[in-house]
Amino acid sequence: MILSEAVIEQIVTDLQPASVFDAGGALGPGVETLRARGIEVEGLVTSAPDLQQVPPAAQPYYRIGSVGERLSKHYDLIVCLEALEQLPQTEAEQAIANLCRHTDDLLFSSTPFDFKEVTHVNVQPPDYWAEQFARHGFFHDVDYDGSYLALWAMRLRRGHGGALGRVVGAYERRLWRLTQENSARRDLSIELRNELALKTQAERYQDRVQQQEQDIRLLKDQLAAWQARWSQLEASLGGRLLKRLQNFRAGLAPPRSMRDQLLENLAQRVIVRGRIAPDSATRLLPVELIAERQPLFLHQATVEIVVCVHNALDDVRQCLDSVVQHTTPPYALILVDDGSAAPTRDFLLDFAAQQHAVLIRNDLARGYGFAANQGLRAAQADYMILLNSDTIVTAEWLDRLVACCEADSRIGLIGPLSNTASWQSIPEIEDHGDWAANPLPEGMTVDEMGRLLAEYSARLYPRLPFLNGFCYGIKRAVIQQNGYLDEEHFGVGYGEEDDYTLRARKAGFQVAIADDVYVHHAQSRSYSHEKRRQLSGEASRTLVQKHGADLIDAGVALCQTDKVMQGLRARARAMLEREALVQQGRQRYAGRRILMVLPLAEPSGGGNVIFDEALIMRRMGVEVTLFNLAEYQTRFERAYPSLGFPVIYGTPEEVGKIGQRFDAVVATHNTSAEWLVPLAQSDQPPVLGYYIQGFEPYMYPPGTPDYQHALHSYSVLPNLKGFTKTDWTRLEVKKYTGVEIKPIGISVNIDLFRPRPPLDPVWPDRPVRVAAMVRPSAPYREPVFTMDLLKQMTRRYPAQVEAVIFGTSPDDPGYVGLPRDFPFTLAGVLSQRQVARLLNEVDVFLDLSSHQAMGLTALEAMACGAAVVVPQQGGATSFARHGENSLVIDTASHRACRQAVQRLIEDHALRQRLQQQALRDVCAFFPERPASNILEVLFGGPTT
């Protein structure tokens, strides 16, 4: 431990020694300060490395030795901080006797929690040390507060205190025992809670094992089927002919011969529409899944919470009450009373006594920077939290803060979200040119807000260049490397946390936001508005002088444009309405049973929407079950291994019997609508619905049987309750069939599709990344034109553009016929969680379809922070506004498509403006609203 200049100054002012002996090297740079005041200083350290820690100018006054060695003279003051704990017990007792022979006044501290430090071989409670000094006539000076030195610090004086000192020692002994008992109970609590979490993980693991075993069985069955099929092919006439051709080829060009190599090189060149396209230009991109959110564990690291107080008693009460209510051990409280008036002072005295908190008192206010440092210097834990006295914490706040910091070893500073905390504010950061206050909605408590934020959070832990000081978490390693707050420039408050954050970043530490923590901030009452404005202006000027305007401006720009934080704020705006809809749905429809009839074999955007809304309905208390064709089971379960609700497999003829057990049965595809006919003919039919994903006749050539079948599906039953996503689909159905259906509103899974900390560098540190979904089997998506346009862009901007496609695979027969003679990356056919990961890493997404019933993938791209191009024909205009949050174009005009893409590549300001507005707009399309509307269509009530 090295004492700061401020502590040295306090020692000089309070004790006024003429000579000082430093046992252990705690004075550090303060030696020069003391000698400059005419105070004689000597000291010793126990090893050469310790001597190197002493400033060079002070080293001549130190020697290497043992604290137990006889000293050369009698000193007015001996400072012995954490030195005796590094000695065996017998040597420590001899050292105490030696020190007491050479002074009448001692400043001493212990660290009774450093059990894990290998150097601390003699860790003992404070009362133990007090008893050892008492044997030599030294007692605790209860009139002098030495806690500004460190936790468990005391002043020991010869013959001072007597019986009163022994009474204080008894209280310290009781506190030590209570601390040990609390620690044991905390360890047991952690053990039990972690056992419960591990049990949950084990159950999930067992489910995955069972799923994998099922997949293995399915694969074995498939392998056996293919082996049987292969045997049949080999025995067929064609198989025998192929075998003869292979033998002929082997004779003409033996394996690994020069002729074989020539034939292989020729085969690698694929002829596409009269031109040669090298496959080597295509890169295959593996895309990882978005990981599931892990369970929260109780923190095990030690934490000390430093609360600096200057009056504002009502705020202080609320703050400390919330800390006691919502904080799980291990933690300790350090209260710094910075010159508060009598009511606050007396309250803190009582509170500290009841809660065993450390209380540091300044009779005259010194300012926040000084007070905070007093608390930090008294702290010895793994983490320190500077918590403003006008805050209210919420459940599990400390566990979540520590989890954030321990998610990455590079994180050194952490903070939560709040109502008013500059860049950490939600849902707004600005209000008419000033920081937003974000008052809670009427009737909502701080605790409820904290619970909702934790529930809806994805725990992204975004990194920011600045951190607000209202709840400022510091890892011990940062203190060890950076020291404390700059009292010289920011002692009175304002700017001290920005300065410290910049210093920590320069030292290589990252600054993270625990986005699952909400701490309410009432805004300081310790300063008037005018005083606050004055201090803020002075702090800003000082920051520029210390760190330079360029670094600060770059940090502010990053805070303003950070996509992850913009996504968090946008979702916070929608969070309350989402929760309200869930509660309303539970009140109205809990206990209802719905069967969704969805014939699906492969991953599908329409299927994903249904699954997302089904999960919301289950939160509302509705029992949702899926019916799928038995022949699709293997492929479907491979595509969707864990849906979260039951699936029944069968034949179309079984829907009539199975559906009788449900309150409503809903078709979701034109082929499945007629499967509901037997149910309509039953005595007590369930409610029959039809979830119309799009105007499906457009998927088939006009006049074909498939086209006619899709058209007829809308009127197959007279009382079928049809509903769809967009007004465009509603109008198309009415135009061609006269059937009226209800729009329920578009939606996107905003919890999955959202900006996340990027895995790759972002523009401009890499080219503009342009992505498109390419499906050769869906002509209306214009796969050939999409690839051709990407080729044009990569040739026009060879160093500025990266092209990425997904939705097809190299073994898709239609893929071979696409333009591929340009550099691009192929991500393949992706699951929903893979699509979310990919879209998070792109800048622009193209949907050049001739029409879109809704345009889900473009909506997902907008939710992830990409600028999108969508067709004006169809339902995309339900969410896309040209020039505001997207570019809406006539995709029949290839020239218009090309110009739109060029604008987004060349104009970064436009691209960024569209991205930012899209992030804000898209969160209005959460799945809770259409889920609620579906229930109201089926069971009655107005749609929202």
In tens, the pLDDT along 384-440 reads 999 999 999 999 999 999 999 999 999 999 999 999 999 999 999 988 888 899 999
Q: So what's the pLDDT on residue 273?
A: 36
Q: So what's the pLDDT on residue 276?
A: 33
Extract the tokens encoding 512. 């993270």
Q: How far apart are CA 733 and CA 737, in angstroms?
A: 6
Beta strands 721-724; 742-743: pairing state = parallel
Q: Give per-residue pLDDT as tens, 689-711.
A: 999 988 999 888 888 999 999 99
Per-residue pLDDT at 202 exceeds 90: no
Q: Lowest mean pLDDT: which of 44-53, 621-630, 884-893, 899-908?
A: 44-53
Averaged confidence pLDDT in the chain: 86
Q: So what's the pLDDT on residue 386?
A: 97
Q: Give per-residue pLDDT as tens, 261-278.
A: 565 555 444 333 333 344
End-to-end CA, the chain: 63
Interval 209-231 mean pLDDT: 67
Per-residue pLDDT at 745 exceeds 80: yes
Q: Are 914 and 737 in contact (CB under 8 A)?
A: no
What residues have CB less than 8 Å from 709, skipping those under 6 apart?
A: 670, 671
Q: Which of 436, 556, 451 is nearest to 498 (CA)?
A: 556
Q: Which of 141-150, 289-298, 831-840 has the highest mean pLDDT?
A: 831-840
Question: When comparing pLDDT for 768 and 8, which is higher?
Answer: 768
Q: Rg of the Cα trace of the chain? A: 36
Q: So what's the pLDDT on residue 468?
A: 94
Q: What are phi and psi of 182, to 5 degrees?
A: -65, -40
Q: So what's the pLDDT on residue 204?
A: 57
Q: So what's the pLDDT on residue 162?
A: 47
Q: How far apart are CA 109 and CA 64, in angstroms?
A: 21
Q: So what's the pLDDT on residue 164?
A: 47
Q: So what's the pLDDT on residue 116?
A: 57
Question: When comparing pLDDT for 110 and 877, which is higher?
Answer: 877
**H helix intervals, 327-439:** 342-355, 368-378, 397-406
Question: When comparing pLDDT for 78 and 179, which is higher?
Answer: 78
Per-residue pLDDT at 462 exceeds 50: yes
Q: What is the 3-state secondary structure (H, E, C) of 585-636?
A: HHHHHCCCEEEEECCCCCCCHHHHHHHHHHHHHHHCCCEEEEEEEHHHHHHH
Q: Give per-residue pLDDT as tens, 80-129.
A: 988 888 888 888 888 999 999 899 999 998 877 665 566 777 888 777 88
Query: How sure is the predictor about 280, in pLDDT bands with cuts at 50, 70 and 90?
Result: very low
Amino acid at 644: G
Query: How sure is the predictor about 615, in pLDDT bands with cuts at 50, 70 and 90?
Result: very high
Q: Lowest mean pLDDT: which of 35-49, 125-139, 550-564, 854-868?
A: 125-139
Q: How far apart are CA 730 and CA 717, in angstroms?
A: 17
Q: So what's the pLDDT on residue 576?
A: 92
Q: How far apart are CA 414 and CA 201, in angstroms?
A: 27
Q: How far apart are CA 672 and CA 651, in angstroms?
A: 11
Amino acid at 287: V
Extract the tokens encoding 128. 């133990």
DSSP one-letter code for 529 = H
Per-residue pLDDT at 381 exceeds 90: yes
Give percent above pLDDT 70 in the chain: 85
What residues have CB less than 8 Å from 650, skipping those under 6 apart?
A: 627, 629, 630, 658
Q: What is the 3-state secondary structure (H, E, C) of 402-430?
A: HHHHHCCCCEEEEEEEECCCHHHECCCCE
Cα atoms found within 13 Å of the Cα of residue 625, Cβ hemisphere only: 20
Q: Which residues pair with 40 in a beta bridge?
A: 19
SS3 content of the chain, % helix, strand, coil (to 5): 50, 15, 35
Helix (H) or strand (E) holding 805: strand 801-806
Q: So what's the pLDDT on residue 263?
A: 58
Q: Which of 152, 154, 148 is nearest to 484 (CA)?
A: 148
Q: So what's the pLDDT on residue 528?
A: 45
DSSP one-letter code for 330 = S
Q: So what's the pLDDT on residue 782?
A: 95
Interval 472-500 mean pLDDT: 88
Q: So what's the pLDDT on residue 50?
A: 81
Question: When comparing pLDDT for 48 and 344, which is higher?
Answer: 344
Interval 283-298 mean pLDDT: 84
Beta strands 383-388; 471-475: pairing state = antiparallel
Query: How sure is the predictor about 189, in pLDDT bands with cuts at 50, 70 and 90?
Result: low
Q: How far apart are CA 494 and CA 538, in angstroms?
A: 8
Query: How sure is the predictor about 532, in pLDDT bands with cuts at 50, 70 and 90?
Result: low
Q: Name the 3-class secondary structure at 181.
A: helix
Per-residue pLDDT at 888 exceeds 50: yes
Q: So what's the pLDDT on residue 272?
A: 34
Extract the tokens encoding 315. 């705020």
Q: What are phi and psi of 107, to 5 degrees?
A: -105, 120
Q: So what's the pLDDT on residue 730?
A: 94
